[in-house]
Structure 1
Amino acid sequence: MERRKQITIDIEKCNGCRSCELACSFHRLKTFDPSNSSIRVYRNDGEGNLELSIISTCDGCPDETMPLCSLFCSSGCLSYVGELADLN
């Protein structure tokens, strides 16, 4: 059974810096380009609140000790909680 790294998201702590997007895009394509990130931070147009989503291209940074998005999250919004068995 495959194991995947899991993170928790506390959106109340997010300051919108988008460091997670930069770290992810560099991991994926060796370029700092948020449009190539598997994690997205955006502002809800209706209320102006920050929202965060992780899309299916996320691989959990298998060659790293923890997902880089959580490693470089300066606000503590993203926290690495460990590995869980992948049910797929």
Structure 2
Amino acid sequence: MSTHKHQWRTADPYDGSLHYCQKCDRWVQGDRPKADDCSVSDAEHNGAAWLGQAGLYRTRLEAVQNGEQLLDPVSADELFELASKHVLEGCIHA
């Protein structure tokens, strides 16, 4: 069981309070559950790119379609840092 927190949003506050999690797309009617059992981590939800064995992908779907099985989310800050290193290495070799 995961211990990730849900990102609850209220879809309908009047008719029985319909809530949904923006990360895992779980829907709940009534009171919001208190359990932290979201299946999606914040890193996965906020990933700017995905890193697999064969390279870097824009989306998780693109990586899976390329046969990737083990993926790590890459934040926007990490992506910028990787790009900066790549550019600096290019300048050194030029």
- Larger strand percent: 1
* TM-score strictly above 0.5: no
Q: Which of the two has higher C-alpha Rg?
A: 2
TM-score range relative to shorter protein: under 0.3
User: Normalised by the size of structure 2, how large is the TM-score?
Assistant: 0.21
User: Normalised by the size of structure 1, how large is the TM-score?
Assistant: 0.22
- Larger helix percent: 2
